[in-house]
Amino acid sequence: MGQAQCPICYSPLEVRDVTPCFICGGWPEAVERFTTATEFTESRLPGGQSLVLCRGCRLEDFMVADGWGYRLVPGETLPANGLRWVRQAEEPRLGRDKFCPTCNVRLAFAEVIASAHEAAEPGAAADPARLSAPETTAVTGGPGS
């Protein structure tokens, strides 16, 4: 039985061509840019889930505040530190996977997020208010505004 809904936001999923990256794999531009020379690494989360990421997503989502990594590896100043290197993917290929257009990630990643939440807070559902917290980016104009 296939999963028809995103385990995070319950949006209906789309089937797409994907690169091995769990996060951007379903983005058309990532598929377009994909070559067998693209670098993908497999790593493991503290909770034991394995994760395949391209270089860009590893940098953006595990080393920059507000990335997915901060939800997956709570308690690390730099979530990338909580990732255990497993291997570099050899001969990466395009495949097909379900994709959540709302979360903008592959189902593979949505499942990792969902299971990480369960592992971190057994019984406690993810707080939707926290997921949709308003951005607090204050735009500071220069003096003389």
Please give the residue ranges that form the binding site for Zn ion (CB under 5 A). Answer: 6, 8-9, 11, 21, 23-24, 54, 57, 100, 102-103
Give least dist CB 27 to Zn ion, A: 8
Please give the Cα distance from 52 to 88 (Å, whole number).
Answer: 9
For Zn ion, the closer of residues 12 and 74 by Cβ is: 12
Closest distance between Zn ion and the C-beta of residue 138, in Å?
Answer: 28
What are the residues facing 44 on neighbouring strands?
A: 50, 84
The phi and psi torsions of 105 (rounded to 5 degrees) equal -135, 165
Q: How far is the CB of 23 from Zn ion (least distance, A)?
A: 5
Cβ closest to Zn ion, residue 94 vs residue 138: 94
CA distances from 59 to 69, 88, 126 (A): 10, 15, 25
